[in-house]
Structure 1
Amino acid sequence: MSKLYIIVERKEDWSSYYPSEDVITAQDYLEQANEQDNGKRVQVINLCRNQKYLGHGYYCSLLTESRGHKVIPSVRTLSELSRKSIYNLALEDLDKLLSKALKGHPYSSADSFTLTLYFGRTDIEALQDLARQLFEAFPSPLLLVDFRRNREGWHIGGVKLGAIHKLREEQEDLFANALDGFSRQVWLKPRVREKYRFEMAILHDPKEDFPASDAKALKSFVRIGNRLGIDVELIEKKDYSRLAEFDALFIRETTAIDHHTYRFAKKAESEGLVVMDDPRSILRCTNKVYLADLLKAHKLDMPKIEILYKENAAQLSTVAQRLGFPLVLKIPDGSFSRGVIKVSNQEELTKASTELFERSVLLLAQEFFYTEYDWRIGVLNQEPIFACQYFMSKGHWQIYDHSAGAAEISGDFRTVPIQEAPHEIVELAVRTANLIGDGLYGVDLKQAGDRLAVIEVNDNPNIDSGIEDAILRDDLYALVLEEFIRRLELQRNGQRW
């Protein structure tokens, strides 16, 4: 059984449409007793005129959540649309789609126009994909989207909620059809999930060059998750608005602070999901300046390192005296060997720093510490779970050789049982990971004779088929998923893991 409420602020707001027993005024909804729905799924469509903070619409959306009902727009959507500085974060990648969609369209000759979206639908076919993505970002019955053109091209100038009492006659037909389609979709028979205790989303990018898990590994997470009672679904960037549907989020995409992966982690955490990588781990691991300072403070060995400042040119003439040549320059948030340059003399240092300072006002200068391979120790909830040796790319000093251009190559690998990895390597890796948190990490270390050095900590370490899982196989995926289950069960019981 299911129930639908369509909330209007005034009865006359619905006068243009067929009478419906689903329609209820905001005042009547607010005054309803908060009764249990006896297992019914309740969907609320909030069409109030006043959706501002502490207005009728705001309180209706707020109370739907306390009553366990699903509502559009949610309080979160109302809050995000109230401040352009917030909703602009979700729009940053849509401008390119807009310029492409409008190419050759009659609107392309204008300087601006406003588009009304009805449950993510538009009568302009070229903009339908954009409309869908806007609805996924801000699920709302009516959205007014302002488009403006400048020298760089088209961009979204603003997004705000629409109101049904302001619709023109032809718009009322579009809204009615969209409402009918949406209400039918809402009550489609839900997926059978009796055998599943939890639902997990795995965020991935099928087009990523160096994903955290390859396609076969992702299938293993899905397969083994189902076996353990988790309904695992692969999601992508476009599924941002669906996060609240899940109990947990597992990020299998390269993370960065100024990136949608961080926004996913933040939103999932605020929605009460169990998250790996959690926002704090992303923040701490993706910036090598933070890591260098953290390791130094805890007296953990690492290659000698200095921070270079764009505004302090004098450092460049003296850093080699302290670190020696060759040395390595790094941008703070590089990954997979990108943004890392080895320099052998002062001329190369000047040239490389000029290039990298275009991307960051801080750089790291690091002692060149060559070994044939790096150790990667996987750590989950402060316990080691896998050990790999990643060998340098043939004829190169890094694991990934980006100088090959389109034919980027990486070195070989060897996976060993944790108990066969050097005890001091594993111990140092766990100590280092524990400084970050209790999530899933990959700690990279070098060993040369008696010297051990921590290189970095990865917040979403690779788990690829045939590599990291070479020893444990399915048990490695189970270890990760069982940790999610442990946390979910504790959370369900009102406890913190």
Structure 2
Amino acid sequence: MAQLILVVDDVSAWAPYFPSENLLDFESYLTQAPVKNAPRTRVINLCKNNKYLSNGYYCSLLAEARDQTVIPSVATLNNLRNSALFAFGFDGVSEALSAFTAENGSKSEGKNKGEGEGKGELKKLKFKSYFGRSPLPELAALCRELFERLPCPVLELTFKKRSRWELTGLATLSPRELTGEEEDHFAEALEAYSRIMWRKPKSVKRYRYDLAMLVNPDEALPPSDAKALARFVKAGERADVNVELITRKDYQRLAEYDGLFIRETTAIDHHTFRFAQKAEHEGLVVMDSPASILRCANKVFLAESFTKHGVPIPNTLMVNPKNKETPALLEQELGYPLVLKIPDGAFSRGIYKVADRAALIDTLAILRNASALVLAQEFFFTEFDWRIGVLNHQAIFACKYFMVKGHWQIYRHHDSGKQADSGGFVTLPTYEAPKAVLNAALKAVKPIGDGLYGVDIKEGNGRVAVIEVNDNPNIDHGVEDVFLKDKLYDIVIADFVRRFEMQR
């Protein structure tokens, strides 16, 4: 569990707020002796002056030297001194403020509104952001974006309207500089941002480790359904691990945890990848790691890796969809029918079966704007695909996923894109899966990493062929857990515990 320290210039600055055992004045923090094997520590620097060589600056500098996570970081403080970094504004600033002023007009003045200057049309706005939160709902998204780029407890933001609204001033504030209702906004934002400060009463059980499980309640095809997520939480309790569900809005809270378990479909240009990167940077155990996401997200990488390491795969070519010679090459090397895949497709999306030259040319025309390279493979039909779940190079579950009736894939997506049909399944103990299938799965993940993977494999006509490795495989209640039941969730949580203890 991460330890939290709030640092202020003087404890008297905290008089309006609820007492906290996590509070230290700067002098006390300065004289703290280094502790070997200390728990991960998170510092919130609330000193009044964050200028170069001030108390606030040294607070952040000392925290980083002690391998503690601190906001604001030294890099953030340096960025705040360089107005050129934000003089041109951030995406959405002008639009958000134009909408805000149009909605509020002269009402924007007052203790709950930004301070406006100028007669008639507002030309200047000044307001405060508390841990990326704003008491003004219209500015919430803007404050959140600024906080993600420049994480500071309290920022005073100044905007001026020239040809468009621009961010012209940023200043950090301490709790001592807040008054009245502003103190309430600060306290509420701090509690929401870092609940460790007012954690559960001592009578409530404390856990050895805290594991954040990233989910998206609105995802149509999540890697784990609600019942499976609940079983991960129960497995955590059995292992003395507090498993807490978080969403993308909890990005800045990652340092509170010992590990991150991503149970949302991952992608490179996506918040899931940013979560994995930040968690790894903070020293958390991450499953799956940024490297695993990068390697599994692109079928071109997988095809090249499989070839290099002798993993059995269907006949495969990487082609340029814009090259005029591509159709003839594919006809000669693969014949019809063949399958074209965009490199980053998932859940049977971005995969096209073509049966003749006309369909091939049309499909290549569709894909030419999606990727510089397209994966082409022989059409290897089987009535089901094997899915072997692998964790730390050990097979933990085996499923047969059957094709949708009358279709050649496991999933058939509706035109709306929000729903999909899926075929049936059979879950088996891993020892009942063919040895050649298990060996191929373990061989496929070896160059990728030691995380949790789902390996899709076709078996038929005396052949075994790996289709892909998924970095974030499905573990749904009533499907992958049919054979092992709750033990499957215990295995995953136990591996997190193993990794936590290895880090110690």
TM bracket (short chain): 0.7 to 0.9
Query: Are the equivalent residues in 1 in contact too, given 2:452–2:471 (CA < 8 A)?
Result: yes
What CA distance in whole angstroms lies between the structure 1 residues aligned with 2:154 and 2:74? Answer: 15
Within the candidate set 242, 260, 267, 1:231 is matched to: 242
AA partner of residue 417 (structure 1) = P
> Superposition pairs for residues 15-30 of structure 1, below 5 Å?
none
Structure number with the bigger relative contact order (C-alpha 8 A, sep ≥ 6) is: 2
Q: What is aligned with 2:171?
A: 162
AA partner of residue 162 (structure 1) = A
The range that moved more, 307-316 or 264-273, is: 307-316
Aligned-pair distance for 1:188?
A: 2.3
Aligned-pair distance for 1:387?
A: 0.4
Aligned-pair distance for 1:190?
A: 4.1
Query: Are the equivalent residues in 2 in contact too, given 1:7–1:29 (CA < 8 A)?
Result: no
Aligned-pair distance for 1:182?
A: 5.7
Q: What is aligned with 1:450?
A: 462
Q: 1:189 to 1:376 in 2, by over 3 A?
A: closer
**Percent sequence identity over matched residues?**
44
Q: What is aligned with 2:198?
A: 188
What CA distance in whole angstroms lies between the structure 1 residues aligned with 2:215 and 2:85? Answer: 24
Q: What is aligned with 1:124?
A: 136
Q: What is aligned with 2:443?
A: 431
Q: What is aligned with 2:46?
A: 46
Aligned-pair distance for 1:363?
A: 1.1
Query: Are the equivalent residues in 2 in contact too, given 1:392–1:412 (CA < 8 A)?
Result: yes
What CA distance in whole angstroms lies between the structure 1 residues aligned with 2:374 and 2:83? Answer: 32
Aligned-pair distance for 1:314?
A: 2.2
Aligned-pair distance for 1:3?
A: 7.4
Aligned-pair distance for 1:233?
A: 0.2
What CA distance in whole angstroms lies between the structure 2 residues aligned with 1:42 and 1:279? Answer: 23
Q: What is aligned with 1:6?
A: 8
Q: 1:2 to 1:377 in 2, by over 3 A?
A: closer
Aligned-pair distance for 1:352?
A: 1.3
What TM-score comes out, normalization by structure 2 length?
Answer: 0.80
Within the candidate set 370, 373, 398, 1:387 is matched to: 398
Say what the alpha-carbon RMSD is for the aligned residues. 4.3
| Cα distance per residue 1:23-73 (max 9 Å; x no partner) | 9997x578545477x99x996433454456x77644321313556877532
Q: What is aligned with 2:336?
A: 325
DSSP 3-state at the match of 1:244? helix
DSSP 3-state at the match of 1:303? coil
1:360 aligns with 2:371: yes
Q: 1:262 to 1:174 in 2, by over 3 A?
A: same
DSSP 3-state at the match of 2:243? strand
Query: Are the equivalent residues in 1 in contact too, given 2:454–2:470 (CA < 8 A)?
Result: yes
The range that moved more, 108-117 or 268-277, is: 108-117
Aligned-pair distance for 1:273?
A: 0.8
What CA distance in whole angstroms lies between the structure 1 residues aligned with 2:128 and 2:331? Answer: 60
Q: What is aligned with 1:350?
A: 361
What CA distance in whole angstroms lies between the structure 2 residues aligned with 1:341 and 1:2? Answer: 52
Q: What is aligned with 2:473?
A: 461
AA partner of residue 152 (structure 2) = S
Q: What is aligned with 1:495?
A: none
DSSP 3-state at the match of 2:301? helix
Within the candidate set 213, 233, 253, 1:242 is matched to: 253
DSSP 3-state at the match of 1:105? helix
The range that moved more, 64-73 or 283-292, is: 64-73
Total equivalences in the alignment: 471
What CA distance in whole angstroms lies between the structure 2 residues aligned with 1:96 and 1:481? Answer: 46
AA partner of residue 198 (structure 2) = L
The range that moved more, 98-107 or 216-225, is: 98-107
Within the candidate set 432, 440, 446, 2:452 is matched to: 440
DSSP 3-state at the match of 2:404? coil
Q: 1:164 to 1:445 in 2, by over 3 A?
A: closer
Q: What is aligned with 1:397?
A: 408
AA partner of residue 7 (structure 1) = D
Q: What is aligned with 1:64?
A: 63
| Cα distance per residue 1:225-248 (max 9 Å; x no partner) | 111100000001110001000001
DSSP 3-state at the match of 1:455? strand
AA partner of residue 414 (structure 1) = V
Within the candidate set 252, 256, 263, 1:252 is matched to: 263
DSSP 3-state at the match of 1:336? coil
| Cα distance per residue 1:372-423 (max 9 Å; x no partner) | 1000001111111100000111111110101454542011111111111111
What CA distance in whole angstroms lies between the structure 2 residues aligned with 1:440 and 1:284? Answer: 13
DSSP 3-state at the match of 1:364? strand
What CA distance in whole angstroms lies between the structure 2 residues aligned with 1:286 and 1:96? Answer: 35
What CA distance in whole angstroms lies between the structure 2 residues aligned with 1:86 and 1:319? Answer: 50
Within the candidate set 426, 434, 448, 1:414 is matched to: 426
| Cα distance per residue 1:190-245 (max 9 Å; x no partner) | 46564411110001111111111011000000011111100000001110001000
What CA distance in whole angstroms lies between the structure 1 residues aligned with 2:369 and 2:153? Answer: 43
What CA distance in whole angstroms lies between the structure 2 residues aligned with 1:452 and 1:343? Answer: 23
Q: What is aligned with 1:340?
A: 351
Aligned-pair distance for 1:348?
A: 1.1
Query: Are the equivalent residues in 1 in contact too, given 2:236–2:490 (CA < 8 A)?
Result: yes
Query: Are the equivalent residues in 2 in contact too, given 1:341–1:352 (CA < 8 A)?
Result: yes
Query: Are the equivalent residues in 2 in contact too, given 1:72–1:140 (CA < 8 A)?
Result: yes
Unmatched runs of 5 consecutive residues or more in structure 2: 109-120
Aligned-pair distance for 1:131?
A: 3.7
AA partner of residue 422 (structure 2) = S
Q: 1:42 to 1:434 in 2, by over 3 A?
A: closer
1:478 aligns with 2:480: no
AA partner of residue 134 (structure 2) = T
DSSP 3-state at the match of 1:209? coil
Q: 1:178 to 1:284 in 2, by over 3 A?
A: same
Query: Are the equivalent residues in 1 in contact too, given 2:44–2:153 (CA < 8 A)?
Result: no
DSSP 3-state at the match of 2:484? coil
Query: Are the equivalent residues in 1 in contact too, given 2:295–2:302 (CA < 8 A)?
Result: yes
What TM-score comes out, normalization by structure 1 length?
Answer: 0.81
Query: Are the equivalent residues in 2 in contact too, given 1:136–1:239 (CA < 8 A)?
Result: no
Unmatched runs of 5 consecutive residues or more in structure 1: 9-13, 493-497
Aligned-pair distance for 1:112?
A: 8.5
